Amino acid sequence: MNTLHTLNASAREHGDLFARLLRSATAGDTLLLLENGVYNLSDANALQAIADAGLTLFALQADIVARGLAAAGAAANSVDDDGFVALACSHRKVVSWFA
Amino acid sequence: MGTTRKTILFILQRAPHGSSAARETLDAALAAAAFEQDVQLLFSGDGVWLLQPDQQADAIASKDTAKMLQALAYYDIKAVFADTVSLAERGLDATNLALAVTAIEPAAQQRLLRAADCVVAL
């Protein structure tokens, strides 16, 4: 089974963290954006880099709504807290990329 | 204690001074090794600054992480890696560091993450 990566920061503010995540992830892994990580949904360059890395993208719905990003949220599969737990359980391990 | 032994990869990604995160990650790695887990370290991002030679932490009354690095061998922690990109971006020479590490390219890091039972990045 693949790895679930979680990211809580924007690529604009924490470019090094974002770049290291992309270097360490394997195509076919899953990326879940949470907290300020959902701002990446409004960043075309970040979305392209995630797609180029072959990652399946999810984002935490409450964090999207809280930040008024519902329109941009369509760029990812959105999950609630139960969905977060389900993702954690369906992957072999979770790697947290936190600023 | 049971004999469940796991491979735990610790990613050291914070600079040694200014916050306790780097030191606490090292503490966690040493503790895991003391409980006979297979501990691996990956220095990445500003965590590679832990490897900078000639640090004098006492000048700012900070804890000396360089001494902690020397303790790794006594805890049988031998799988010690650093991200080639992070080293190069910061002008660090992989052959002249405070600790002998194996500098690895992104593809090797991907294999490391895939193979680990769990990955800790604080």
Give the CATH number of the domain where residue B64 resides.
3.40.1260.10
B45, B110, B114 ranked by CB distance to A17: nearest? B45
pLDDT one-digit tens code per residue, B84-104: 999 999 999 999 999 999 999
| Residues of B in Cβ contact (< 8 Å) with A17 | 13, 45
* Mean pLDDT value across residues B19-34: 96
Which of A7, A22, A23 is best to mutate for the B interface (most B CBs within 10 A)?
Answer: A23
Q: Is B76 among the domain residues?
A: yes
Q: For residues A7 and A37, is the Cβ–Cβ distance under 8 A? A: yes
- Residue A25 has what pLDDT? 98
The answer to whether the Cβ–Cβ distance between A3 and B110 falls below 8 Å is no
- Residue A99 has what pLDDT? 96
Q: Is A95 on the interface with B (CB under 8 A)?
A: yes
Number of domains in chain B: 1
* Mean pLDDT value across residues B75-84: 97
Range of the domain at B113: 7-121
Q: For residues B103 and B82, is the Cβ–Cβ distance under 8 A? A: yes
Q: Is B1 among the domain residues?
A: no
Q: Is B112 among the domain residues?
A: yes
| Residues of B in Cβ contact (< 8 Å) with A24 | 44, 106, 109-110, 113
| CA separation for the pair A31, B71 (Å, rounded) | 35
Q: The pTM is what?
A: 0.92
Q: Is A26 on the interface with B (CB under 8 A)?
A: yes
Q: Is B79 among the domain residues?
A: yes
CA dihedral A82→A87→A92→A93, nearest 10 degrees, is: -80
Q: Is A80 on the interface with B (CB under 8 A)?
A: no
Q: Is B2 among the domain residues?
A: no
